[in-house]
Amino acid sequence: MTPDVPASTDTSRLLGGDRRRWLRKFKDRAAAVGISAGGMSVLVAILLIFVYLLYEIVPLFRPASAAPVAAYPVTKLEAGTAPPLYLAVEEQAEIGMRLDRAGQVVFFQTHDGAVDKRVALPVPADAGISSFAIDSEQNQLLALGLSDGGVLLVRHDYSASYGAAGKRRITPEISFPYGDKPLVLQAGAPIQAVAARDSDSGLVIVAQSEGRLLARKWEKREDFLSGEKVVEEVPLTVPAVDITPARLLIGPDQRWLYVLAADGNYRVIDLTAGSVVDGGRLFNSGELGSARFLLGGISLLVSNSHGEIAQWFMVRKPGAAPQLTRIRAFTEGDGAAVTELVPEHRRKGFAVVDAKQNLDIFYSTSERRVLHKHLGDAPVRALALSPRANALLFEDDKGELHFWTVSNHHPEVSWSALWDKVWYENYDKPDYVWQSSSSSNDFEPKYSLTPLAFGTLKAAFYAMIVAAPLSICGAIFTAYFMAPALRRKVKPLIELMAALPTVILGFLAGLWLAPVVERHLPGIFSVLILTPVAVLVFAFAWNQVPMRLRKWVPDGWQPLLLVPVILLIVLGCFGLSGAMEHTFFAGDMRAWMRNEWGTDYAQRNALVVGIAMGFAVIPNIFSIAEDAIFSVPKHLSYGSLALGATPWQTLVGVVLPTASPGIFSALMIGLGRAVGETMIVLMAAGNTPIMDLNIFQGMRTLSANIAVEIGETAVNSTHYRVLFLAAFVLFMFTFVLNTLAEMIRQRLRRRYSVI
């Protein structure tokens, strides 16, 4: 008979049970909330990364803008009534310069027109200015062709100083680098067109007078004894041309002379050889308008009376002489004649004004019109851009000067510049090129992301070729065939590989593995070919061994027998590598490949990256795939075996389909790791942004490029923001890839969940 239990004891038990149930429920709820909060935090973090990347990228695609600041009459400068010949603005856009056809130079404040300085150029009293040319915006050397056959060279400079209160004072100056007396080219005959090019090595002047080309050249050298600069004239012969020159331009290397006629015909003269090397027409119709050099003096910008603007430069095709080639064309939109064309001082952009008073700013490399603005009702007769391209100054036919500010920060970027082939200066054809910096101030930035995206996919492709078969096959054998005791040792050992820092793997790949592969190329290929063959041969031989001997090796431990076989094959191939190279490849396999296949070999290449990055990716794929295969319910495989299927049939028909979502996830995670890998490709891939599927050539990936260049770029520059754009492309690639992978995984899961 059960003794009576006091009511108080029953109550305490009930209360204790309720308390435990409440505590369990609280823990479950807290765990659910914590896990949900963690997941939401990850999503928020990803969203914030996305938003920040967009924040840095959006300014790349903002249009340029311009706004008026000041306007004042030319009479305020007390410059007389002569029309302008040239306008300029100094570095800080505080001082403007106006040169008129009477030879008067006025420096003035751009914001209010207050005069700072006036200079009368030493033009002879019995002569006038008959032609004008500018050496380059950077050199600030002006050439004035005179009606008496002389050429006066003038340079305008600006120096900054600071007073006691720290206030900046900009002082304009006029200098005459070759004397204040005109250099006579043809006494008594007017200079109708002139070109001058000054450099550290010498000065070249070419002019057209009475239908003839006149040229003089002076060389600069340093006197050996006194150390003084000596300028002496040397002979220069210019051949006759069959057109009447209207514009003359000399390239910065003082080799090419471009002779342009009013009807659009041109001739190119090689001044070093003294011969005409090319000729043709700039436009199919219309009269020649303006002609100027882009920054650097390589590209020639020309316009015509129909509003067409074209960029030309000398192109040397393989096995052919250089030819002046039309690269790209621009149009301001309504066919009005271009009246003013002014290149930017520090970028490959330029501004034009047409007969309808429309201002357009273009950037040549991106083939992009970044600004279109109407300047007013009066025709513009002179235009100037500031050296920083953040201000412009123009004078109209009403005799008013207008000063505007310009905001144009990232004209280099367009869809074509980022992803299409672009014909860059000094290239013989359009190409995909990434080259963000150079030692030259005349450099043309090349921001094509295509070779970087290609390099990213190439590195991931070769890494997955190495990693995917080894890791998936290893996971299948480890999870399904290997003895449990051996599996408990092998699986942690392979997973431990994931703990190796990739910087160490990259260091070893670049400094040790790459030279080893280069020295033993025949051995490497022999290993790749003979190892699978040796494994199959050993397996066949093992099956021929009597069963009583095979039983000495416990089931699932057979892989250990392959270890000495593989080591023997590897050591043998590497030991015989030199003999094979001498016998089959004339002692140099790299030279043989170059001669027979036309394939160059770079020491740090995709083969090295594939081996090293494959080694880094294998643990991730192996671990996830092995868990997926091992987690397949045993009753499925047992049922298959019980129905008479062999182990291989069970594996192929039951285990792998059931584990396919996990295997697919493992491959996608491995691919994501390969795409985002930085240090291995940075150290072992050669870091060359080229597009070549060749396994013996290197590459540069998006991630490696960001790591290399982010420390050397100026904050908020175009280069800086393009690197963020590269990060955004990489982010979106992995996001889309993972999204598609998850969709496919879920579909596989639903399909094979009924097995």
Q: How many angstroms separate the CA atoms of 461 and 455, rounded?
A: 10
Q: Count structural domains, the chain.
A: 2
| Burial bucket for residue 6 (CB in 10 Å: 0-12, 13-18, 19+) | exposed
Element (H, E) at 612: helix 606-630
- Is it the case that residue 79 has pLDDT exceeding 80? no
pLDDT, greater one: 552 or 700: 700
Q: What is the CA radius of gyration of the chain?
A: 38
Position 455 in a domain: yes
Nearest to 297 by CA among 225, 232, 345: 345
Q: Which residues contact 675 (CB under 8 A, 6 or more apart)?
A: 456, 457, 460, 703, 730, 733, 734, 737
Q: How many angstroms separate the CA atoms of 174 and 605, rounded?
A: 56
Q: Please check whether residue 410 is in contact with residue 721, taking contact to mean a CB–CB distance below 8 angstroms.
A: yes
Q: Please check whether residue 83 is in contact with residue 376, taking contact to mean a CB–CB distance below 8 angstroms.
A: no
Position 287 in a domain: no
Res 8: pLDDT = 59
How would DSSP label each residue in 214-229? EEEEEEEEE-TTT--E
pLDDT band at 155; cut points 50, 70, 90: very high
Position 680 in a domain: yes
Span 453-482, average pLDDT: 92
CA angle 631, 632, 634 (to 5 degrees): 105
Phi and psi of 80, rounded to 5°? 85, -170
Position 341 in a domain: no
Q: How many angstroms separate the CA atoms of 688 and 696, rounded?
A: 12
Query: In the structure encoding, which two tokens stand for residue 66, read together?
Result: 């311009």
Range of the domain at 218: 121-281
Position 574 in a domain: yes
Span 211-226, average pLDDT: 83
What's the CA dihedral at 542, 544, 549, 553 to 10 degrees?
Answer: 20
CA angle 341, 342, 346 (to 5 degrees): 150
Q: How many angstroms separate the CA atoms of 702 and 727, rounded?
A: 7
Write a three-state SS string for 424-455. Answer: CCCCCCCECCEECCCCCCCCCCEECCHHHHHH
Res 569: pLDDT = 92
Position 310 in a domain: no
Span 436-462, average pLDDT: 90
- Is it the case that residue 333 has pLDDT exceeding 60? no
Phi and psi of 297, rounded to 5°? 75, 15
Res 12: pLDDT = 63
Pick the last residue of a domain from 252, 281, 310.
281
Position 49 in a domain: no
Kindly report, residue by residue over 50-76, the tens digit of the pLDDT: 999 999 999 999 889 999 999 999 988
Position 472 in a domain: yes
- Is it the case that residue 1 has pLDDT exceeding 50? no
Kindly report, residue by residue over 105-130, the tens digit of the pLDDT: 999 999 999 999 999 999 988 889 99
Q: How many angstroms separate the CA atoms of 743 and 587, rounded?
A: 53
Q: How many angstroms separate the CA atoms of 7 and 253, rounded?
A: 110
Res 109: pLDDT = 93
Pick the last residue of a domain from 281, 296, 324.
281
| Burial bucket for residue 385 (CB in 10 Å: 0-12, 13-18, 19+) | buried
Res 753: pLDDT = 64
Q: Where are the alpha helices (DSSP H) in 482-600?
A: 484-496, 502-508, 514-519, 521-544, 547-550, 559-575, 577-584, 589-597
Pick the last residue of a domain from 233, 253, 281.
281
Res 327: pLDDT = 94
Classify the C-alpha dihedral 124-128-133-136 as positive or negative.
positive
Query: Which domain CATH number covers 603?
Result: 1.10.3720.10
Q: How many angstroms separate the CA atoms of 333 and 555, rounded?
A: 81
- Is it the case that residue 754 has pLDDT exceeding 60? no
Buried b (16+ CB within 10 A) or exposed e, 640-672: beeeebeeeebbeebbbbbbbbbbbbbbbbbbb
Res 14: pLDDT = 59
How would DSSP label each residue in 585-607? STT-HHHHHHHHH-----SS-HH
Element (H, E) at 205: strand 202-209
Kindly report, residue by residue over 252-291, the tens digit of the pLDDT: 999 999 999 999 999 999 999 889 999 999 998 889 999 9
Res 11: pLDDT = 63
Kindly report, residue by residue over 547-597, the tens digit of the pLDDT: 888 788 888 788 888 889 999 999 999 999 989 989 888 888 988 988 888
